[in-house]
Amino acid sequence: MKVGFFVREALRSVNRNAVPSFAAIASVVVTVLVLGVFIPVVQATTGAANEVRGRVLVDVFLKTNAKDADVERVRRLLVDKTPHVGKVQYVSKQEAYQEEKRRNPEAYQLLGSNPLPDTFRVTPDKPGNALKLRDELSPVTASGARTAIDPAIGTVKNRKDETTKILTATRVVKLAMGSLAILLIVASLLLISNTIRLSLFSRRREVEVMKLVGATDWFIRWPFVIEGVVLGTLGGGLAIALLLVGKLALLDPLASDFALIAAPRTVSFVSLAALLLVASVVVSALGSGLSLRRFLKV
């Protein structure tokens, strides 16, 4: 049997069952529209959370009388011998003084000398390891006090309260966005599958007759699978067109005026459109093929 026969049967079925077909297309459109909006939102939210987590630092302040040899020794200690270290940035006391002077010129005009120490700003390999890194550089002794692992190190600070709040808040955001994404995808699959199942239910007599006259399961199934592809393509294409109109009419004009909209890095519209179209076609085709199984048991 030629492929053209199944295609003609599928198109004829779409034309004969306009109402169920329209319902299936509407379900695909709504689902793809929601996913098309939600996916960039999840990406932007997760990206912002990761950016905030990337700002977690551990500051290693050297003693004010530290020499160049001490600075180099501490640098090697951080880079070569300390676990959980991702990036090490050295800020000399002169650089720190100039930076603080730019921020508070009036307060630093009266100072006769530079009171700021040399500093290493250490970024942990993972944001969640910031507290472990602090403990490695300044472990707790038996008396409960902290002592630095090198005599040239004065204090080690990581702003524990702020770090804990950042890690907790961003973890909650990422988990919430991930959970919502999973729930939305599952709900979308169920919605499309149920709509297609209702469409097939209206034609169960037709399937039963074909089965009784000797048609094979795949002979019956292929027109419905192709019909699912057609409906998925129509619904996905319409939803992508609506998303494109919304992007050109709303997002693009606002992006130049609002940095909050332009800043997040999300998937390109072409990639998103391709993903949504493929997903709508595959889900509709699978929904048609799998939902037909119960009607093939005659």
**Containing structural domain, residue 119:** 57-157
On whether the pTM is more than 0.85, the answer is no
In a domain, 162, yes or no: no
Query: Are 85 and 35 in the same domain?
Result: no
The CB density around residue 172, as the number of other CB atoms within 10 Å, is: 11
Query: CB under 8 Å to 89, separation ≥6 — which residues?
Result: 120, 121, 122, 123
Quote the tokens at residue 245. 């109109």
Q: Give phi and psi for 119, each to the nearest 5.
A: -140, 140
Q: Give phi and psi for 120, each to the nearest 5.
A: -110, 120
The per-residue pLDDT for range 49-96, each reduced to its tens digit, is 666 666 678 888 898 888 889 989 999 999 888 898 888 989 888 887
Domain-ending residue, one of 95, 124, 157 = 157
Using the 8-state DSSP alphabet, how is residue 249 labeled?
Answer: I
Give yes or no for a contact between 269 and 241, defined as CB atoms under 8 angstroms apart. Answer: no
Positions in the chain whose pLDDT score sits under 70: 1-2, 5-6, 9-10, 13, 17, 48-55, 105-113, 159-167, 170, 181, 185, 187-189, 191-200, 202-203, 254-265, 290-298
Query: Are 83 and 41 in the same domain?
Result: no
Angle at 89 between CA 157 and CA 84, to 5 degrees: 65
Query: How many domains is the chain built from?
Result: 2
Using the 8-state DSSP alphabet, how is residue 203 labeled?
Answer: T
